[in-house]
Chain A
Amino acid sequence: MKPRTVMTAVVAAALLVVLAVGVAFAHGEPVIRVDPPVVAAGGSMTVTGTEMEPGEVFDLALEGAATSVSLGQATAEGEDEDAGFVVTRAIPADLAPGSYRLRASTEEGESAVADLTVTAAAAQADAGPAMVQEPSSEPHVLERRKPVGQVAAVALLAAASAGFGLWLIRRP
């Protein structure tokens, strides 16, 4: 057999294995969703679990930068692999605003996560409009004006870099 044929066969076999493994592992993992995905501290959210085994008990925990807050347990109900749960949980009023992950995990090591953004508590949000964060495609407005001297220095550096580069390119 020619080396090229062997190589082609190996590549094809590797692709098949990769696809098979991918498909095999793509199913059967529990999934949780959080609604709404943005909650003010002190507010509440609905956690929906799907693709679970009936009777499975999940510990719910909110994980942040340096904190993990237990939100109790939820038990999956239903038939076969269609079991799941829908529970409502309160976000602690003193939880710091930021990005969190809600993790649902069993003692057997199964787990699922969902992203959650916690904004400032409603009482604090009332103090100013900037406290409640809404998703936005707008740029973050920052003071980015530079001193004239810095702009001139950068422009000079760019010109020097371009000049030196062109000199190197045109060298015989």
Chain B
Amino acid sequence: MSTESLTSRKNTITAALRERLGLDGLAYPVPEYANSIGYLLGGITLAGFLILFVTGIYLAQFYHPHPADAHASVVVIITNAPIGDLVRSVHFWTAQIVTVTVLLHMLRVLTSGAYKRPREVNWYVGLGLLAVTLGLVFSGSVLKFDQEGIEALQHNTEAAEVIGALGGWFSAEFSRTVPLLTRLFDGHVTILPMVFALLIIAHAFLVKQHGISPKPTADAVSRSTAGEGSSRFSAHVVRLAGYGFVVLALALLLSLLWPAPLGQPGVAGAEVTKPWWMFLWLFPAEEAWGAATLPVVPAVLGVLLALVPIVDRSPHMSPARRKVLLLVAALVLLAIVVSGVVAAIRPVEAHLE
């Protein structure tokens, strides 16, 4: 078969697929700057979630979500399941990467004023996605049920007691027949992914409706940009997929170098470990003010973030015209970082009552 004939056949197949799948519909205009790394962070996070879904489905075939068997089943995943150690490590490292990208994405939206009218609702949807992401990370850290996992669960239970009936689902009291660990597993593999799916659909829909937010230049004002731009969304998706493969490569490399950790089987009632970095910053506050800080501090941060579009109502997007808000945000961020560093340096101290 000649080269010309092959090319012709390839074009025919491509054209048939474009028609059947409606791919031309994805070629709507987006601004060129939408393809820069800062504006791709949300998409990179989504690509990371796809890796998490695939690896998570595999891990669920071997994991036993019962307190008496959970840790042993993780040992089985590491030592006996086909490529189980690798898949678990990729799952672990991708979760770390996704947490970083989702936080950077939020910071980019905050600093570029992309939460302003008409995008306020999408800001709240994004906050929901952040909460779901952290919920997935937290429940995932508990599931391995090593010493760190069981301590995380105990903190979870204590936090649930602080908020009373609102924390009912997180209490061992909620079900007399199904252990809390098993229900957290249900949350990790069904409830949270379902909520994530609904929110991400809403998130993407609203981005499509309003367009990519304008660049925060000196005189830029927030407005809908749907249908504007010299690039195409299809090109945006291709670039996004490219970053997705880079994330996979990074997770594979990290998995080879540092396989996902697993501690000793958990002993209830003890407190000898520190949590993962995304929750570590809460520890100094917990030490100072008790278990009440565990739900209260994140709730206060959530309320502050929710207030952002209400407080900052000017249409201006330039950071120079939003100095006060960004200064407050920087101070809060600094406090979190310092708190995390302090917690990382200090020896482990028992907080549980």
Q: Which residues of A sit under 8 angstroms from B146, Cβ to Cβ?
A: 140
A42 contacts B by Cβ under 8 Å: no
B262 contacts A by Cβ under 8 Å: yes
Contact among A26, A133, A137 for B273, CB-based, below 8 A: A137
Closest chain B residue to A164, Cβ basis? B245
- With A and B bound together, what is the CA distance between A48 and B21 in angstroms? 65
CB distance from B55 to the nearest CB of A (A): 14
Closest chain B residue to A110, Cβ basis? B173
Of the listed residues A15, A117, A137, A171, the one surrounded by the most CB atoms of chain B closer than 10 A to its CB is A137
A139 touches B245 (CB 8 A): no
Closest chain A residue to B353, Cβ basis? A33
Q: Which residues of B sit under 8 angstroms from A139, Cβ to Cβ?
A: 261-264
B328 contacts A by Cβ under 8 Å: no
Q: Which residues of A sit under 8 angstroms from B249, Cβ to Cβ?
A: 158-159, 161-162, 165
Closest chain A residue to B268, Cβ basis? A115
A window 109-134: CB within 8 A of B: 111-113, 115-117, 133-134
A133 touches B263 (CB 8 A): no
Contact among B75, B242, B348 for A168, CB-based, below 8 A: B242
A23 touches B267 (CB 8 A): no
- With A and B bound together, what is the CA distance between A19 and B172 in angstroms? 22
Stretch of B3-11, B66-74, B183-191, B336-344 with 4 or more beta carbons under 8 angstroms from chain A: B66-74
B327 contacts A by Cβ under 8 Å: no
Contact among A111, A112, A158, A171 for B253, CB-based, below 8 A: A158
B246 touches A162 (CB 8 A): yes
Q: Which residues of B sit under 8 angstroms from A21, Cβ to Cβ?
A: 164-166
Closest chain B residue to A27, Cβ basis? B164
Q: Which residues of B sit under 8 angstroms from A146, Cβ to Cβ?
A: 85-86
Q: Which residues of A sit under 8 angstroms from B154, Cβ to Cβ?
A: 115
B267 touches A65 (CB 8 A): no
A138 touches B264 (CB 8 A): yes
Closest chain A residue to B265, Cβ basis? A133
Q: Which residues of B sit under 8 angstroms from A133, Cβ to Cβ?
A: 264-265, 267
A window 11-53: CB within 8 A of B: 11, 15, 18, 21-27, 29, 34, 36-38
Q: Which residues of B sit under 8 angstroms from A135, Cβ to Cβ?
A: 147, 264, 266-267, 270-272
B79 contacts A by Cβ under 8 Å: yes
Number of interface residues of B (CB under 8 A): 63
B57 contacts A by Cβ under 8 Å: no
Q: Which residues of B sit under 8 angstroms from A15, Cβ to Cβ?
A: 303
Of the listed residues B146, B239, B245, B263, the one surrounded by the most CB atoms of chain A closer than 10 A to its CB is B245
Q: Which residues of A sit under 8 angstroms from B263, Cβ to Cβ?
A: 136-140
A165 touches B268 (CB 8 A): no
- With A and B bound together, what is the CA distance between A164 and B250 in angstroms? 13
Given contacts A135-B267, A139-B263, A159-B249, contact A165 B242 (CB under 8 A): yes
Given contacts A116-B268, A143-B79, A154-B86, contact A168 B239 (CB under 8 A): yes
- With A and B bound together, what is the CA distance between A111 and B175 in angstroms? 11
Q: Which residues of B sit under 8 angstroms from A23, Cβ to Cβ?
A: 164
B269 touches A38 (CB 8 A): yes
B272 touches A136 (CB 8 A): yes
B window 127-154: CB within 8 A of A: 145-148, 150, 154
A window 142-158: CB within 8 A of B: 142-144, 146, 150-151, 154-155, 157-158
- With A and B bound together, what is the CA distance between A140 and B261 in angstroms? 8
- With A and B bound together, what is the CA distance between A140 and B263 in angstroms? 5
B269 touches A36 (CB 8 A): yes
Q: Which residues of A sit under 8 angstroms from B313, Cβ to Cβ?
A: 4
B243 contacts A by Cβ under 8 Å: yes
Contact among A24, A27, A36, A136 for B147, CB-based, below 8 A: A136
CB distance from A46 to the nearest CB of B (A): 13
Of the listed residues A24, A38, A117, A140, the one surrounded by the most CB atoms of chain B closer than 10 A to its CB is A140
B window 229-283: CB within 8 A of A: 235, 238-239, 241-250, 252-253, 255-256, 259, 261-274
A26 touches B78 (CB 8 A): no
Q: Which residues of B sit under 8 angstroms from A162, Cβ to Cβ?
A: 245-246, 249-250
**Would you give 28 A-B contacts (Cβ < 8 Å), ordered by A?**
A4-B310, A4-B313, A21-B166, A23-B164, A25-B165, A25-B166, A26-B162, A37-B268, A38-B268, A98-B68, A99-B145, A113-B172, A115-B269, A116-B269, A117-B267, A117-B269, A135-B267, A136-B264, A137-B147, A137-B148, A144-B85, A150-B86, A157-B252, A158-B249, A162-B249, A165-B245, A165-B249, A171-B238
6 closest residue pairs by CB, A with B: A37-B269, A165-B245, A168-B242, A135-B270, A25-B164, A115-B268
